[in-house]
Amino acid sequence: MDNTDKKILIVDDDETSRSLLRQVLGDCTNIFEAAEYHVWVRTKNWMAGVYAAQGLPVPESPAGAFKLLVNGTPLPLKTVLGTQGKGEWLWVKASRVVLAGQVTLTLHDLDGFDGRCDAIMLTTDAEPDFNALRSANPNAQTPTNASYDVVVVGGGIAGICAAISSARLGLKTALVHDRPVLGGNNSSEVRVHLGAYQNLPPYPRLGDVLAEFGPKAGGNAREASVYEDELKLRVVKETKNLDLYLNMHVNGAVTNGEGRITAVVAQDTRKGGRHMFNGGWFADCTGDGTVGYLAGADWRMGREAKSETNEPDAPEKADMITMGASVQWYAGKADGDAAFPTRPWMLKTINEANCSPHLKGDWWWEAGLGRDQIAEGEHIRDYGLLVAYSNWAFVKNGYSKKVSFADKELKWVAYNAGRRESRRLMGDFILDQNHLRNREVQPDGTCVTTWTIDLHLPKTARESKFEGEPYQANSLNEKIWPYPIPYRCLYSRNVPNLFMAGRDISVTHIALGTTRLMRTHGMMGEVVGMAASVCKKHGCNPRDVYTTHLDELKELMTKGVGDGKKHPRQDYNCQQSLDPDIRQQYKESVKGLVE
């Protein structure tokens, strides 16, 4: 919340049911019949879970407190909302109230620090069956059906490119994304800039699609406009044969007796409805390998043992350690002096020796290293919020050089964490450190990965002078030669019609250090769309493209599927390489195609 009132909904009690479950941003309707209603709110004490994970006592006055107003008047509550429980989501009985006619409900934020309200329910039943009411929601009934040649799940850079590539090659394509904006980590919600090279040999035309919507400017944790959400949306919407579905969270997969996916099921995150997307081929561009996981694909998470991969830098024993997620933030100049409150719930362990006296929390502002990035994703994000607020409060109020921050204010804090690593789906080829180091180029090489093997580790207590759970990271880098990613890394080895593009492809933890960059993801997506068109043409599976139709895929990669127009240069955030000619190769490949 942002310390303001928010008009959220007007509820309708029709003749068939007086108990309706609505999401917070629901429809505006009426209550026709006067009655006494029990008001329930689904909320959580987000601060309690964060402190419990640190082994610290839960603050008596946690962040996230709010009230519920009816027609501008606060409900008679014994306690404020957002402060109940131990960090779990729960239904809280807020009050009883007599309602009639048109009624407006409003959330009133009490402290400006991320109050949580998932849903509000009005019911004449004093002890409702929440699951039954959720099922009775008319928006959550039988899924609607739609059929496509290709269903791409995940609207980040990889998914956008896969969907556009597939659609331009004549396949009826769906792009299903669980957020309201496209771009994933490169959207205004997370604000990570694109990285690594594109448009390089052996297939310089890979990257042409990405060039059409990639932001003109780079930089992490900058103003929302830098990430050009609207450009991504426009290019997708203008692509023929491509249907876009936003706010659709895929949480189910339908498979046949052979393990082949026949459909995915998505929940509308705004209205609660369920939608079924039938398809011939599916592309998992979720980053978390969600579709593959739901369909029973082989997957890994964490680090492989050296005995398994023979990688020089692999640990002796396998573990579940992953890189973390960044809750970025930035500050800027205010109109005059700008105050920032110090709250009792803020960490007392941030001090003069360990604070971060900067105007942004960049990539190194990274939490959750070693935690389960999926199961503990909400906790990781919340811890990122806690340390961001606690640090800024100290810099503003307790830092010895706080005068230099007097006219600075916190402009933005991410509410979505930028995740680097979670599940990896296993393909017929698993790229590892030795392939990269030894330049063991495979016959099915596609787009090149050019970033260093960039692995993040948490700063130690000695390095950070901070004794709590780490929230800042170091980066270990090993330069490589540009390496063509084998096509066999881009499809599942045991789900016959599943492609992958993005950070969930078939690589080891160490190899992910180079393949996880978003420009590389975009090119993977282009390849997947091309391979899907070969599958459609021959009625075959992704594996058959490698075994029987690889020359056709190579021909498509040579031609590319870009629009052939000039686009702004996007060669920011490109690292040095062991190849001394890499920058010149890029300049040659885009000659005549950049403004």
Q: Which two tokens stand for residue 44?
A: 């959580």
For residue 120, give Cα distances in angstroms to 22, 433, 560: 6, 51, 50
- Interhelix angle 518-538/550-559, rounded to 10 degrees, is 130
Per-residue pLDDT of the chain (595 residues; tens, 9 = 90+): 333 444 333 333 333 222 333 333 333 344 547 888 899 999 999 999 899 888 888 888 899 999 998 888 888 876 789 999 989 999 999 888 888 888 888 899 998 899 999 888 888 888 898 888 776 666 655 567 899 999 999 999 999 999 999 999 999 999 999 999 999 999 999 999 999 999 999 999 999 999 999 999 999 999 999 999 999 999 999 999 999 999 999 999 999 989 999 999 999 998 888 899 999 999 999 999 999 999 999 999 999 999 999 999 999 999 999 999 999 999 999 999 999 999 999 999 999 999 999 999 999 999 999 899 999 999 999 999 999 999 999 999 999 999 999 999 999 999 999 999 999 999 999 999 999 999 999 999 999 999 999 999 999 989 999 988 999 999 999 999 999 999 999 999 999 999 999 999 999 999 999 999 999 999 999 999 999 999 999 999 999 999 999 999 999 999 999 999 999 988 899 998 999 999 999 999 999 999 8
Q: Annotate 250-302 with DSSP letters as a single string.
A: EEEEEE-TTS-EEEEEEEETTT--EEEEEEEEEEE-SSS-HHHHHHT--EE-S
What is the pLDDT, as a whole number, of residue 138?
61
N-to-C CA span, the chain: 41
In this structure, are residues 261 and 541 in contact, taking their beta carbons and an 8 Å threshold?
no
All structural domains of the chain with their residue ranges: 5-139, 144-308+425-451+483-589, 325-419
DSSP string computed for 368-402: -TTS-TTTTHHHHHHHHHHHHHHHHHHHHHT-TTG
Tell me the CATH number for domain 144-308+425-451+483-589: 3.50.50.60
What phi and psi, each to the nearest 5 degrees, are found at residue 274? -115, 140
The residues, any chain, with a CB within 8 Å of residue 196's CB and separated by 6 or more, are 449, 450, 451, 517, 518, 519, 520, 573, 574, 575
pLDDT for the residue 125: 87
Using CB atoms within 10 A of its CB, is residue 72 exposed (0-12), middle (13-18) or buried (19+)? exposed
Q: What is the pLDDT of residue 11?
A: 34
Closest CA relative to residue 416, chosen from 487, 326, 516, 283: 326
Q: Whole-angstrom Cα distance, residue 305 to residue 152?
A: 32
In this predicted structure, what is the pLDDT of residue 101?
81
Contact 531, 490 (CB under 8 A): yes
Are the CB atoms for 271 and 119 separated by under 8 Å?
Answer: no
What's residue 121's pLDDT?
86
**Res 99: pLDDT:** 85
Architecture of domain 5-139: Sandwich (2.60)
| Residue 133: predicted pLDDT | 76
Domains 5-139 and 144-308+425-451+483-589 agree in fold: no
Q: Look at residue 142 in the predicted model and tell me its pLDDT.
A: 52
Largest pairwise CA distance in the chain? 77
Which residue in 450, 405, 472 sits closest to 571, CA to CA?
Answer: 450
Amino acid 96 reads R
